Amino acid sequence: MEQAAHGRSLFSDALRRLRSNKAALASIGVLGFIVVAAVVGPWLSPHNYFTQDYGAIWIAPTLADAHWLGTDGLGRDLFVRALEGGRISLMIGFVATLVSLIIGVAYGATAGYAGGRVDGVMMRIVDILYAMPFLFFVILLMVFFGRNILLIFVAIGAINWLDMARIVRGQTLALKQQPFIEAARMSGAPAVSIIARHIVPNLLGVVAVYITLTIPQVILFESFLSFLGLGVAEPATSWGALIKDGADEMGRAPWLLIVPAVFLAATLFCFNFIGDGLRDALDPKDR
C-alpha cells in the first residue's frame, strides 16, 4: 500500500513539473497531431497508398486532383503514403526503443552493480554481440521466420540495447559508490531492490536522452532492413523507405525527399523536447 501511494505522488509530482515545461508541452501537442494525422489522415484524401496512376507521375504538390503533397514515380499520392509510412515508422520507433530500453537498462544496471567477474563476463558478451556480422543475423532472421513486421522490431531492438547497456553500466559503476547506495546496502536491502529503487531512477536522465537518440536511429535503420528484404513489403511503406527512395530521386522530384524528411524531423524534435522535459521532471535529485 505504502509503495503504491509513494508511486502516485512521484508520478503526480513529475506531471506537475512536466506541465510547466512549455517546450515539452508544445512537443506533446505536435506529436499528438502527427499521430492523429497518421491514423485518420489517409481517410481525408480521395486517394489510397497503393493505386498507381501512370498519367500522374512525379506531380509536384498541388491542390488539383487532391495531390496535396505530390506523387511518386508510380503516380501514387505522397500525402497518403507519408501518413501511412508514419504509422509504421512510429510503431517501429516506439516498440524497438522499448525493447532496447528494457533489455539495455536491466542488463547494464545488473552488470554495473554486480561488478567484478559477473560484470566482466556480461560485458564480454556485449563485445561479442557488437562485433557479430549483423547482416548475417538479419539474413538468418529472414530465412527462419519469413516476413513478419514484429520481427523487425525485435531485430532492431536486439541491436540497439548494446549501446544502452554500456552507458547504463558506466553510470551504475559511478553511482554505486554514492553514499545513499552504500547506506541502502548497509541496511541489508536485496540487490534487486537496490537496483530497481535506487540505481534505475538515478539513471533515467541519461536514459531519457539516449532514447531520443535511439528513435531516429531505429526509424532510419528500418529502410536499410527493407533493402535486405526484412522491412515493410511493397506497396506498404515507411518514413525510412520514403526518405531512401526520395534521396535517389531528389534531383527530379525533391518533394519526395522533403515531405518524409520534414515529418521525421518534426517527430524527432518532439521526442527530443519531451525527453528533456521528462528528464527534468523525473530527476530524483531535485526532489
Partner 1 sequence: MAACSSEQSDQFPVKSTPEIREDGTTVLRRGNGAEPESLDPHQARSVPASNVLRDLYSGLVQISPGGDIKPADAESWEVGDQELVYTFNLRENLHWSNGEPLTAQDYVYSLRRSVDPVTGSPYAQLHAAIANAKAIIAGDKPPQALGVRAVDDRTLEITLTKPTPYFLGTLAHSISYPVYRPAVEAHGASFSQPGNAVTNGAYKIESWRVNSMIAVERNREYWDDANTSIGRVEFYPITNQNSALSRYQAGELDWATSVPISQYEAIKKYIPAQLHAEPTLGVYYYGLNVKRPPFKDAPELRQALSMAIDRRTIVDKITRGDEIPAHGWIPSVVEGYAGAQFEWVKLSDGEREAKARELYEKAGYSKDNPLKVEIRYNSGEGNKKIASVISSMWRSVLGAEVTLRNQEWKVFLDNVRQGNTEAYRLAWIGDYNDPNTFFELMNSKFGLNGTGYASAEYDRLQEKQAHMPDGPARMKTMKQAEAVLLADSPIIPIYFYVSKYLIKDYVKGFEGNPLDSYYSKDLSIEP
Partner 2 sequence: MLSYALRRLLGAIPTLLILLTLAFVMMRAAPGGPFDADRELPPQVRANLEAKYHLDEPLYQQYGRYIWDVAHFDFGPSFQYRDTSVNDLIAQGFPVSLKLGAASLAFALIFGIPLGMLAALRQNKPADYGAMTVAMLGISIPNFVLAPLMILLFAVYNDWLPAGGLGSWQNYVMPVLALGTAMMAYVARLARGSTIEVMRSNYVRTARAKGLSAARVVWVHALPAALTPIVSFLGPAAAGIITGSVVIETIFGIPGLGQFFVQGALNRDYTLVMGVVLFYGILIVLFNLAVDLLYGWLDPRVSY
- Using CB under 8 A, list all residues that contact partner 1: 50-52, 54, 57, 73-74, 139, 142-143, 147, 226-229, 233-235, 245, 248-253
Question: Letter for the amino acid at 133?
Answer: P
Min dist CB 241 to partner 1, Å, is: 10
The option from partner 2, partner 1, none interacting with 260 (CB < 5 to 8 A, set by class) reads none
Spatial separation of the C-alpha atoms in residues 247 and 153, rounded to whole Å: 24
Contact call for residue 133 and partner 2 (CB under 8 A)? yes
Taking CB under 8 A as the binding criterion, the range among 45-53, 89-97, 153-161, 268-276 that sits at the site for partner 2 is: 268-276
Cα maximum dimension of the chain: 76
Spatial separation of the C-alpha atoms in residues 159 and 181, rounded to whole Å: 31
Taking CB under 8 A as the binding criterion, the range among 46-54, 69-77, 188-196, 258-266 that sits at the site for partner 2 is: 258-266
Contact call for residue 178 and partner 2 (CB under 8 A)? yes
Sign of CA dihedral 23, 24, 25, 28: positive
The end-to-end CA distance of the chain, in Å, is: 22
- Would you tell me how many other CB atoms lie within 10 Å of the CB of residue 252? 9
The option from partner 1, partner 2, none interacting with 253 (CB < 5 to 8 A, set by class) reads partner 1
Spatial separation of the C-alpha atoms in residues 178 and 7, rounded to whole Å: 23
Residue 74 or 173 having the CB closest to partner 2: 173
Residue 249 or 283 having the CB closest to partner 1: 249
Whether residue 246 contacts residue 257, with contact meaning beta carbons closer than 8 Å, is answered with yes
Q: By CB neighbour count within 10 A (0-12 exposed, 13-18 middle, 19+ buried), where does 128 fall?
A: exposed
Backbone angles phi, psi at 55, to 5 degrees: -90, -5
Min dist CB 154 to partner 2, Å, is: 17
Spatial separation of the C-alpha atoms in residues 110 and 122, rounded to whole Å: 9
The option from partner 1, partner 2, none interacting with 252 (CB < 5 to 8 A, set by class) reads partner 1
Residues that contact partner 2, how many (by CB under 8 A)? 58
Residue 77 or 222 having the CB closest to partner 2: 222
DSSP state of 45: S
Taking CB under 8 A as the binding criterion, the range among 9-17, 30-38, 40-48, 244-252 that sits at the site for partner 2 is: 244-252
Contact call for residue 74 and partner 2 (CB under 8 A)? no
Binders in 185-214 for partner 2, by CB under 8 A: 205-206, 208-210, 212-213
Residue 100 or 212 having the CB closest to partner 2: 212
Question: Letter for the amino acid at 102?
Answer: I
- Would you tell me how many other CB atoms lie within 10 Å of the CB of residue 196? 13
For cell 525485435, the residue is 154
Spatial separation of the C-alpha atoms in residues 243 and 222, rounded to whole Å: 11
Residue ranges binding partner 2 (CB under 8 A): 21, 23, 115-116, 119-120, 123-124, 127-128, 130-133, 135-137, 139-140, 143, 162-163, 166-167, 169-171, 173-174, 177-178, 205-206, 208-210, 212-213, 216, 220, 243-244, 247, 250, 257, 261, 264-265, 268-269, 272-273, 276, 279-280, 283, 285-286
